[in-house]
Amino acid sequence: MLTLSEFHVIPLLFFITFLSPLLSTAIPINIWPKPRFLSWPQHKAIALSPTFTILAPEHQYLSASVTRYLNLIRSENYLPLINHPVKLMKGYTLRNLVVTVTDLSLPLHHGVDESYNLSIPIGSVSAHLLAHSAWGAMRGLETFSQMIWGTSPDLCLPVGIYIQDSPLFGHRGVLLDTSRNYYGVDDIMRTIKAMSANKLNVFHWHITDSQSFPLVLPSEPSLAAKGSYGPDMVYTPEDVLKIVQYGFEHGVRVLPEIDTPGHTGSWGEAYPEIVTCANMFWWPAGKSWDERLASEPGTGQLNPLSAKTYEVVKNVIEDVVKQFPESFFHGGGDEVIPGCWKTDPAINSFLSSGGTLSQLLEKYINSTLPYIVSQNRTVVYWEDVLLDAQIKVDPSFLPKEHTILQTWNNGPENTKRIVAAGYRVIVSSSEFYYLDCGHGGFLGNDSIYDQQGSGGGSWCAPFKTWQSIYNYDITDGLLDDEERKLVLGGEVALWSEQADSTVLDSRLWPRASAFAESLWSGNRDERGVKRCGEAVDRLNLWRYRMVKRGIGAEPIQPLWCLKNPGMCNTVHVVGCNTHMLKKSESCTRLIMSVRWPRVLTPSLLSQILKKQKNPVTALKLFEEAKERFPSYGHNGSVYATMIDILGKSNRVLEMKYVIERMKDDSCECKDSVFASAIRTFSRAGRLDDAISLFKSLHEFNCVNWTLSFDTLLQEMVKESELEAACHIFRKYCYGWEVNSRITALNLLMKVLCQVNRSDLASQVFQEMNYQGCYPDRDSYRILMKGFCLEGKLDEATHLLYSMFWRISQKGSGEDIVVYRILLDALCDAGEVDQAIEILGKILRKGLKAPKRCYHHIEAGHWESNSEGIERVKRLLTETLIRGAIPSLDSYSAMATDLFEEGKLVEGEEVLLAMRRKGFQPTPFIYGAKVKALCKAGKLEEAVSVINKEMMEGHCLPTVGVYNVLIKGLCDEGKSMEAVGYIKKMSKQVSCVANEETYQILVDGLCRDGQFLEASQVMEEMLIKSHFPGVETYHVMIKGLCYMDRRYEAVMWLEEMVSQDMVPESSVWKALAESVCFCAIDVVEILEHLISSKR
């Protein structure tokens, strides 16, 4: 476990491999947003060839992007504000960037894959950019452009660099209000250009409001003609097309918002008959706030009782959908004010007759939402439609599959409420993301503006600093992954009561840049600590580069601060990052050391890596080894160790990097390494990466892919990618050894049957003949079981007859397990007579069943009830067992099946028959028996199987058998008894407890309240390089606090943080509740950790 002093080592563990706090001011490249993973171990650079070009596939928008970036690279002439020594490699230049896109057809919509890999290998004249979509390629091109410095033609960029990058959230937007003040088309396009540079992908265009209607619509031209500020302050269809196309060329979706039914005063200029309270004073004299007509000057709301309203609204929707191809349509829905509707006589009559204001909104939503959906659009509304205290709709009017809600009030609280209701959400909390806040008010005679200490008239004061924007977590308070998945992303908003094109850039940038990084790569460092203090220099540098690119971003510090690193901090420490240290502590504590041998071998490095409790440390040492020992080279074993460590800790991006390194080194590697990586990718929800890895295996020095192939198929079927799994099988199964192909086929059939797709499994079965191999016993067993579980008894019977035919042709294939599956299924379906008939055919095929058994069944000595049918099934089983040709395989399969079905008596009969025939039961059979006994609550008998029965049968228990028993004991509250089996395993040769063993035992001990014992087992677990899950840490820490074992609780908290896990709020609460009784040193440690997570 980490000690406190060791805990402080972490800030510089990523000194070489990642853009750490120190690297941000020590290298000439500064990429914003910060990539998820970057490796540049040797700090070397290369010159860009004067004839440099970008080679990319033809694509309407990607091609335009390539041209744009080529022009930018040649003309930007960016010089770092501080000169840093970098070794420039001589002898060659970088001639091109090769862009590869795996699927050019992917459209720009929410959820499109924006990931990319970028590498510039040493010694190569080509850089490589790989992306799954054209839009991901655009993100990679932006990163590439930010790595270049110098004055043309003398341009440089890093070499020996590798980047893997992808966004945390799919929706990363900027809202611009063009109704209250007008912005020119060039202003909007400049904003989209800046968004693309910051890897933002949604321009939320709040086009209309009560103040003006600037959008020209062919079906309703009078809305803009009468509702805009003037003919030179409108957006024509040509303007919209230009903006939308410009968005596509920059990978930015243009999401239109037509705010209704509130905020529609501008509609009243053209259609006064459909707008209530239009052009009235917004807050009548002598009225309370609740009696206002609008929340700010500019009144008017659509009348839901007017048929003309829906005629006009549908025309507007139809025109907007034609002009904007975006799949989201924002319908507004915020701030529907009761007082405005109450000015209309028809509405007052409706209310007097028992109607409600909420029913009016429901009528409007129910009349417009289905029409928007019919246009193949998903509707976005502001949160008010569901959460407003006075006027809201019943959730039944907002189908979850067609509706997204956008928050703007009450910070994380409203996000939690929307997610709890099951809706997807876009976060735009005014407490963090409203960029107009803090600039005072705009009302003409409000006396509050000059009151000292007030917000100056700004309803959402104070000003939202880039730091507060950067630090906000949009999933704050959401407890599980399923809830977090409903958070699509967020938007910063610039409302334009006091903004127009003259201040547009400075209001947005660089605060929107801070927002961009927090939603792209997050606002925390590798330990889960908020990195706002580290980001200031990087954001400052990026701000200067944006200005160089023509974006008028406001400054965040004097230039002097960049030229004097560390001097603008509140605590002055030179040469290291100190946001985790007290003033009295020395930077030397950050130096990580390890005792290196004089000569390093792969086996020695593997041992060193395995001893590291922190995977981050292991990766740093993995990188450092080649620097310290120039003649040393990693082999397959070292790579396997590193990939295993990263996979177990779910560090997917780092694992991908190591796999790429392994491919470049061309060292011999085992199939099991790739199988493990495929499982890790799938577990992390990155099945596409698993498939890509498998498809690239021919590029590695790996001879046999069987295990990887089997693992991939299993994971694909598990994720319901059934058709894709069959396609992978057909494409890659040819050319293997027959046994390998049969194994793969059987596995594929098994997982298909597990998800009730015996139809697909049957196709695979039929495919065997065309694959040049033939079904074996497992093939028949799997498919027979699949048919019978789905009640497809006719297909099952035909399968049996095909088996008879194969026996007659090939002379083998008889299997009593297949027979029993079908006979039992027929009996369960009440088809006992058919079962008896089939049994007769089976016996005629050569089974030597005792005549007594068959006579009892054939004579009809059974009753047609459940008890009688079970008796028949037992007799059928006895007939098959006694009549079978002796086979260890048949007996094992039969016994295992019976135990798995909980049929202990019948399973025991098979074991007896096996022994009589001279066969010894295998550990696998004993494991099935132990599991069945535990499930039946017969723990003493289960213990006896391992302690007595297996020993008498000269069969040593395996780890799997022990795990089954340990789980059974823990499930029954006997975890302390289970602990003894860890010791017993350690004394048995070749039987080592694995991760599952420890996890079962720790969880069981915690459930039983044995936290001290659980803590000891977990320590042993870590020593063996097995890592507990986050929930285990939570339970352990809270349990130790409950027992007043605060030192142990805090130590586990440190270990948890070091594993890049973020404790949930209940853990902090448990620790906080025990602080009052803690010793002072424990309090200090807690204060330190809490401040680091704040």
Judge whether residue 1045 has pLDDT over 50: yes
In which band, very low, low, confident or very high, does the pLDDT at 923 lie, cut at 50, 70 and 90? confident
Q: Is residue 406 part of a domain?
A: yes
pLDDT digits (tens, 9 = 90+) for 119-149: 999 888 999 999 999 999 999 999 999 999 9
Count of residues making up the chain: 1094
| Residue at token pair 């599956």 | 821
In which band, very low, low, confident or very high, does the pLDDT at 1084 lie, cut at 50, 70 and 90? low
Indicate whether 515 and 423 sit together in one domain.
yes
Most confident range, picked from 68-82, 733-747, 865-879, 935-949? 68-82
The residue ranking higher by pLDDT, 1025 or 91, is: 91
Residue that finishes a domain, picked among 111, 133, 165? 165
CA-CA distance, 149 to 156, in Å (whole number)?
Answer: 6
Indicate whether 400 and 519 sit together in one domain.
yes
Indicate whether 226 and 368 sit together in one domain.
yes
The residue ranking higher by pLDDT, 378 or 669, is: 378
At 493, phi and psi to the nearest 5?
-125, 135
The secondary structure of 931-955, three-state, reads HHHHHCCCHHHHHHHHHHHHHHCCC
CA-CA distance, 106 to 113, in Å (whole number)?
Answer: 8
Return the pLDDT at 22: 32
At 295, phi and psi to the nearest 5?
-85, -5
What is the C-alpha end-to-end distance of the chain, expressed in Å?
Answer: 23
Q: Is 678 helix (H, G, I), strand (E, B) or coil?
A: helix
Share of the chain above pLDDT 70, in %: 82
Q: Kindly report which listed range (273-287, 666-680, 867-881, 898-912) carries the lowest average pLDDT score.
A: 867-881
User: How high does pLDDT run on average in the chain?
Assistant: 82
What is the helix (H) or strand (E) element at residue 99, kind and residue range? Answer: strand 94-101
Q: Is residue 326 part of a domain?
A: yes
Judge whether residue 517 has pLDDT over 90: yes
Indicate whether 123 and 175 sit together in one domain.
no
Q: How many domains does the chain have?
A: 4
Indicate whether 513 and 578 sit together in one domain.
no
Q: Kindly report which listed range (88-97, 130-139, 914-923, 926-935) carries the lowest average pLDDT score.
A: 914-923
CA-CA distance, 507 to 511, in Å (whole number)?
Answer: 8
Q: Is residue 388 part of a domain?
A: yes
87: domain CATH number is 3.30.379.10
| Residue at token pair 């429901």 | 362
Q: Is residue 862 part of a domain?
A: yes
Judge whether residue 333 has pLDDT over 80: yes
Judge whether residue 1088 has pLDDT over 70: no
**What is the CA angle 868-870-871, rounded to 5?**
65
Residue that finishes a domain, picked among 129, 150, 165? 165
pLDDT digits (tens, 9 = 90+) for 628-652: 888 888 888 889 899 888 888 778 8
In which band, very low, low, confident or very high, does the pLDDT at 380 lie, cut at 50, 70 and 90? very high
Indicate whether 346 and 450 sit together in one domain.
yes
Q: Is residue 426 part of a domain?
A: yes
Return the pLDDT at 3: 32
383 is catalytic: no
Q: Is residue 1027 part of a domain?
A: no
Return the pLDDT at 590: 33
Return the pLDDT at 1072: 73
State the pTM of this model.
0.63
CA-CA distance, 417 to 409, in Å (whole number)?
Answer: 11
- Both tokens assigned to 266: 């501008």
- Both tokens assigned to 109: 């919509």
Judge whether residue 442 has pLDDT over 60: yes
Expressed as residue numbers, the domain containing 821 is 775-870
Indicate whether 42 and 120 sit together in one domain.
yes
Sort residue 344 into left (φ over 0), alpha (ψ -120 to 50) or beta. Answer: beta
pLDDT digits (tens, 9 = 90+) for 563-614: 887 788 775 433 333 333 333 333 333 334 567 887 888 888 888 888 887 7
Return the pLDDT at 1087: 55
Residue that finishes a domain, picked among 165, 184, 205? 165
**What is the CA angle 370-371-375, rounded to 5?**
110
> Taking Cα atoms as reference points, which of 193, 204, 65, 203 lies closest to residue 135?
65
Contact status, residue 157 vs residue 149, Cβ threshold 8 Å: yes
At 47, phi and psi to the nearest 5?
-80, 150
The residue ranking higher by pLDDT, 768 or 791, is: 791
In which band, very low, low, confident or very high, does the pLDDT at 429 lie, cut at 50, 70 and 90? very high
In which band, very low, low, confident or very high, does the pLDDT at 725 lie, cut at 50, 70 and 90? low
Indicate whether 142 and 194 sit together in one domain.
no
pLDDT digits (tens, 9 = 90+) for 796-817: 888 877 776 665 555 444 566 6
418: domain CATH number is 3.20.20.80
Indicate whether 111 and 185 sit together in one domain.
no
Q: Is residue 1052 part of a domain?
A: no
In which band, very low, low, confident or very high, does the pLDDT at 862 lie, cut at 50, 70 and 90? very low
Q: Kindly report which listed range (237-241, 256-260, 519-523, 988-992) carries the lowest average pLDDT score.
A: 988-992
User: Strands 154-159 and 403-407: what pairing?
Assistant: unpaired
Judge whether residue 215 has pLDDT over 90: yes
CA-CA distance, 813 to 810, in Å (whole number)?
Answer: 8
Q: Which of 335, 383, 715, 814 is catalytic?
A: 335
Return the pLDDT at 845: 56
Q: Is 491 helix (H, G, I), strand (E, B) or coil?
A: strand
Q: Is residue 829 part of a domain?
A: yes
CA-CA distance, 269 to 278, in Å (whole number)?
Answer: 8
| Residue at token pair 């299924």 | 825
CA-CA distance, 197 to 30, in Å (whole number)?
Answer: 13
Indicate whether 499 and 540 sit together in one domain.
no
Indicate whether 215 and 300 sit together in one domain.
yes
Return the pLDDT at 449: 63
Judge whether residue 5 has pLDDT over 50: no
Indicate whether 385 and 513 sit together in one domain.
yes
Instruction: State the CB neighbour count (10 A cutoff) for residue 57.
Output: 13
